[in-house]
Amino acid sequence: MMTFEQFMQHYKQETENCMKNAIVATNSDQKLEQSMIYSLEAGGKRIRPLLVLATIIAYGREPELGYQTAAAMEMIHTYSLIHDDLPAMDNDDYRRGKLTNHKVYGEATAILAGDALLTKAFEMIVSDATLTATIKVDLIQLFAKNAGANGMVGGQQADILGENRTLSLSELESIHRRKTGALLSASVLSGAIIAGASEDDKKVLEKFAHHIGIAFQICDDILDVIGDAQKMGKKTGADSELQKSTYPALLSLEGAKQALAEHTDLAKQALGTLDIDATFLLGLTDLIAVRDF
């Protein structure tokens, strides 16, 4: 049995290999390809693809069944980061300790690289020979819903509209349930779909994903206040500059830490009701809650 650290190292590498091979195989414009690979290779926690694979493993299925889906999920996440960093959005110069994509390749190519990663993600699912047609359709529907106007993109829009005004806690959670939580939920549920989990189990996993999504955002908000910019690879204090409502701003720093602990515990409680080997899912839950980058 792998340790959690071995699981992280091995499956991060498998995901990265799968992504790079897929991009190189497209034979697209060289600058566009380099731009796509640049952001994919910028590092990161790879939490989303690891959630896909950890869920499959929890049900005793072969993780290889989820390699392309895991890679597709990280491509969607990376596309969103490229676009978030643009001057019209968050206007960030650094991401994961490196210059942001548009600072290296220009805004036009950065936009196109993000577009290409999003569409490549769906191609990855469609072309996966290990999955049945029914599973592919279910995954495509899940990805499209959670990445689009009712999910991540809608959450990002709500986040922009929430700048310069004080939101209620319920409004803040609604934004981050979509902006941050939607892709985390899709990651867990895509693993459940591939593994053949029951509908009842999927409902529990969706509850688990909801709580880790909120925990993830609370941790992000806390790190924006007290995190180490060098370790995080990006500037801190950005939320304050944009006058965004955050969990520390609404609850105080200590209140946000308490909320983080509560959502982490609720996520673990949900997993505890399932008859699965949740070892790696629990490890990822702890990673989300205690990370410092």
pLDDT in tens, 174-211: 999 999 999 999 999 999 999 999 999 999 999 999 99
Domain count, the chain: 1
Q: How many residues are recorded in the chain?
A: 293
The residue ranges of DSSP E strands in 83-216, in sequence order, are: 94-95, 98-99
- The pLDDT tens digits for 62-121 are 999 999 999 999 999 999 999 999 999 999 999 988 999 999 999 999 999 999 999 999
pLDDT at 164: 87
Residue 111 contacts residue 83 (beta carbons within 8 Å): yes
What SS3 class is residue 94?
strand
Q: What is the CATH number of the domain that holds 243?
A: 1.10.600.10
pLDDT digits (tens, 9 = 90+) for 4-28: 999 999 999 999 999 999 998 877 8
How far apart (Å, rounded) are the C-alpha atoms in residues 223 and 138? 35
| The dihedral sign for the CA sequence 18, 21, 27, 33 | positive
pLDDT tens, residue by residue, 262-277: 999 999 999 999 999 9
Domain ranges, residue 150: 4-290
What DSSP assignment string belongs to 172-197? HHHHHHHHTHHHHHHHHHHHHHHHT-
Q: Is 41 helix (H, G, I), strand (E, B) or coil?
A: coil
Total Cβ atoms within 10 A of residue 70: 31
pLDDT for 242: 65
pLDDT in tens, 143-153: 999 999 999 99
pLDDT band at 249 (very low <50, low <70, confident <90, very high): very high
